[in-house]
């Protein structure tokens, strides 16, 4: 995984002045664009789109320092107008593009390089489960992509579930883990931005192929699943476990991601207010 990440960084560097798309980058990484964005975010602490934006501005600064015209540099790095480039550049380094060559001052944003760093003997519980094909049944909604914090649109989706739908989901639920799950899939992949959308499903795992009114049915192929149980303050522990999966477990494991819906379930701990038991399920395969 570390080698793959550095390969993708090199690929981005070679195409900074071209029309980079998420599909191109994900293809180089060998995973879906959504999974790659999550891996990148949790490892680097910044979004993929922000990294590319800052690298382009950094290279633009070097080009301006070398005497290239502001208009040429603006269009070279994908800005559709000189005004747009000027605003972005000044917001980044507090100088106008036209001032760079005069002041001989340049602000740089360094290219990333990933490596494994041993910082402590942290333990992380997980199990590998082989699971035959199944269906996800539930209510769905296109929601904004959000890697941290509470997604208000998902809250609204949960609040929209009717009593009749809950009863139907209870009837359909016949496959482990026998819990109400939150699943994500079909993320936007057309633009280098984090404000795209994905489909979020709240529902159950089932073998049934017919569902009641207002519910969607999503087929999930047979896969190997990495399952990460966790217990602690909610939602902080669940979110931190998700970050650890992508930033620590995946780069050091013998597995790579599979393009399939990921899901999790949470049950509040009745003995400890504010605490919860959760599991995160991610489809994986052994590295070739």
* pLDDT band, residue 117 (cuts 50/70/90): low
231 neighbors 271 (Cβ within 8 angstroms): no
Q: How many CA atoms lie within 13 A of 66 on its CB side?
A: 9
**Is 89 part of a structural domain of the chain?**
yes
Among residues 41, 70, 103, which one ends one of the domains?
103
**Is 175 part of a structural domain of the chain?**
yes
Same domain, yes or no: 237 and 150: yes
Which tokens go with 153? 């649109």
* pLDDT band, residue 191 (cuts 50/70/90): very low
What range does the domain containing 86 cover?
A: 2-103
Same domain, yes or no: 131 and 91: no
Write the CATH number for 259: 3.20.80.10
**Is 114 part of a structural domain of the chain?**
no
55 neighbors 12 (Cβ within 8 angstroms): yes
Q: Which residue has the tokens 């949960």?
A: 158
Same domain, yes or no: 166 and 279: yes
Q: How far is 22 from 52, CA to CA, in rounded Å?
A: 11
Same domain, yes or no: 152 and 276: yes
pLDDT digits (tens, 9 = 90+) for 241-274: 988 898 888 877 888 888 899 999 999 999 999 9
Mean pLDDT value across residues 183-204: 76
Same domain, yes or no: 91 and 136: no
Same domain, yes or no: 132 and 266: yes
User: Whole-structure pTM over 0.75, yes or no?
Assistant: no
Same domain, yes or no: 131 and 31: no
Same domain, yes or no: 80 and 11: yes
**Is 117 part of a structural domain of the chain?**
no
Q: How far is 227 from 241, CA to CA, in rounded Å?
A: 11
pLDDT digits (tens, 9 = 90+) for 201-239: 999 999 999 999 899 999 999 999 999 999 999 988 998
**Is 81 part of a structural domain of the chain?**
yes
pLDDT digits (tens, 9 = 90+) for 21-30: 877 887 887 7
* pLDDT band, residue 122 (cuts 50/70/90): low
Same domain, yes or no: 131 and 247: yes
> For residue 34, is pLDDT > 80?
no
Cross-strand bridge partners of residue 277:
231, 267
> For residue 119, is pLDDT > 60?
no
**Is 112 part of a structural domain of the chain?**
no
Render 246-282 in DSSP notation, one character per residue: IIIIHHHSSEEE-SS-EEEEEEE-TTSTTEEEEEEEE
| Per-residue confidence (pLDDT) for residue 85, from 0 to 100 | 93
> For residue 193, is pLDDT > 60?
no
Among residues 68, 103, 138, which one ends one of the domains?
103
Which tokens go with 257? 């991601």
Same domain, yes or no: 250 and 150: yes
| Number of domains composing the chain | 2
Same domain, yes or no: 257 and 214: yes
Same domain, yes or no: 198 and 269: yes
Q: Which residue has the tokens 């944003």?
A: 109
Write the CATH number for 60: 1.10.10.60
Higher-scoring residue by pLDDT: 114, 54: 54
274 burial via Cβ count (<10 Å: 0-12, 13-18, 19+): exposed
Alpha helices per DSSP H over the chain: 2-14, 22-29, 33-44, 48-65, 70-76, 82-93, 97-103, 152-159, 163-172, 236-244, 250-252
């Amino acid at each position: 995984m570390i080698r793959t990440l550095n390969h993708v960084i090199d690929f981005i560097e070679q195409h900074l002045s071209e029309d980079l798309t998420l599909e191109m980058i994900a293809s180089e990484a060998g995973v879906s664009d959504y999974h790659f964005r999550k891996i990148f975010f949790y490892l680097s602490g910044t979004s993929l789109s922000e990294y590319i934006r800052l690298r382009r501005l950094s290279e633009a600064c070097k080009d301006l320092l070398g005497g290239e015209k502001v208009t040429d540099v603006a269009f070279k790095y994908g800005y559709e107008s000189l005004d747009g480039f000027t605003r972005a550049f000044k917001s980044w380094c507090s100088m106008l593009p036209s001032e760079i060559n005069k002041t001989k001052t340049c602000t740089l944003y360094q290219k990333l390089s990933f490596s494994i760093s041993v910082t402590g003997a942290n333990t992380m519980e997980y199990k590998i489960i082989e699971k035959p094909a199944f269906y996800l049944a539930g209510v769905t909604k296109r929601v904004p992509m959000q890697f941290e914090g509470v997604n208000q649109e998902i809250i609204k989706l949960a609040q929209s579930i009717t009593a009749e739908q809950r009863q139907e989901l209870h009837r359909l639920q016949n496959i482990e883990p026998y819990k109400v799950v939150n699943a994500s899939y079909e993320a936007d992949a057309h633009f280098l931005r984090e404000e795209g959308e994905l489909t979020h499903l709240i529902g159950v795992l089932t073998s049934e192929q017919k569902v009641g009114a207002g519910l969607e049915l999503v087929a999930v192929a047979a896969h190997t699943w990495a399952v990460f149980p966790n217990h602690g303050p909610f939602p902080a522990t669940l979110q931190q476990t998700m970050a650890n999966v992508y930033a620590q477990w995946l780069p050091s494991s013998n597995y790579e991601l599979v393009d399939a819906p990921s899901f999790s379930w949470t049950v509040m701990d009745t003995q400890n207010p504010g605490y919860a038991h959760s599991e995160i399920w991610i489809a994986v395969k052994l590295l070739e």
